[in-house]
Structure 1
């Protein structure tokens, strides 16, 4: 994992609130992440949460993404990814804090038939408020912008 952030990346995050870490995962790591996510989502079936019965439904939002939360709770491979100290170190460096807590992991799978994803902000929907919260998005498949 390419986990060392440059001064330029840290400054970019402080100024713009976003940074792209190209090559974060090498080919082998990327395949491991894909495998773990695929296994965890398949094991969970249509339940969104571990130890819960909330299932995907027929709402517009449910048809934007296939969504599974807290996969680390019931999949050992996902647990090892989410508790990787290198990710934690990167998050604390970006936020400028001494420690970081995982609120949740989330697999979002964009199906070919899915409804469009509208522009939005995630953090107003979160159950907490912190200027130091970090979202880490890792694309596991190639993505193309629609024409």
Structure 2
């Protein structure tokens, strides 16, 4: 994204401070354009053939899916320590291949219906799908996943902020470096996102990559956000390299999902495969949290995710149900 020479510094500040006025797909379009695609990880390389899982046996019934997503996951205490130390954790075999294949099928159909046959988008997105789709609803409100989030953050109860369906298409470039605390207008440090790949993600498909260390964000606190060019992404990448920050950009196995804290800096490489990289991301926050006093355009279409909740007010809208313990 090139600089706009007609904009003065005060205009840029005003643009970032104002609220976002378009839809979520437009936000992603502009956001992805701010990535510096000259930044390359060792695992990024030329296009290779790969396939989403297709031979997983019979897809689960809705009853079987509910049983899986309601059952508790045995969380290793070491995982909680890693989350609090590093800002993220990756957990294996959280979900079955059949459950993931079912959700991928639903996501493909839903994005096709919402965005059309040929949207000409390198990055397709959807949100709030749990409101109209029973399969999405089971995943997004899953006590199994929400309980993990609560345990990692050390809180008793969590609500849903929102879900995101994220499809990085073949040939799509990097996702820029960022941390969610800047994007989520939630006045709490207890916010985390479950990132759920709907297929295995090899290195050349663009797995989520983490800057290791909960406090790593402090290295780049003074870097100013920009919606006009790639300067933020490039500057953050350079600082991390200069400071010797470890970056975990390892692949995701089938059924493996990650949880990252809102302070965790992360990015993702390009999708250099022939298959769409599909992910469901669900964000949870501790019960009782409020909206920050002054949300900006960086928060995107936040009013859609928590209707009738004003700045500074507790987030308790009908779109932010308690996911753990599950409301009866």
CA distance in 1, matches of 2:130, 2:161: 11
Whether 1:133 and 2:133 are equivalent positions in the alignment is no
Contact 1:3 1:24 in 2 (8 A): yes
SS at match of 1:20: strand
Aligned to 1:21: 91
Aligned to 1:30: 100
Aligned-residue Cα RMSD (Å) equals: 2.3
Unaligned residue ranges in structure 2 (runs of 5+): 1-67, 205-271, 273-328
Aligned to 1:85: 143
Structure 2 counterpart of 1:71, from 129, 134, 152:
129
CA distance in 2, matches of 1:41, 1:129: 31
Aligned to 1:44: 114
More strand by percentage? 2
Deviations 1:81-140 (CA, angstroms, capped at 9, x unpaired): 111111121111011111101111101100113243222223311122321101000111
Deviations 1:13-49 (CA, angstroms, capped at 9, x unpaired): 1111111001111222222222232233234336xxx
* TM-score, with length taken from structure 2: 0.37
* TM-score, with length taken from structure 1: 0.78
Q: Which structure would you say has the larger Rg?
A: 2
More helix by percentage? 1
Structure 1 range deviating more: 109-118 or 130-139:
109-118
Contact 1:64 1:116 in 2 (8 A): no
Aligned length: 133
CA distance in 2, matches of 1:121, 1:64: 22
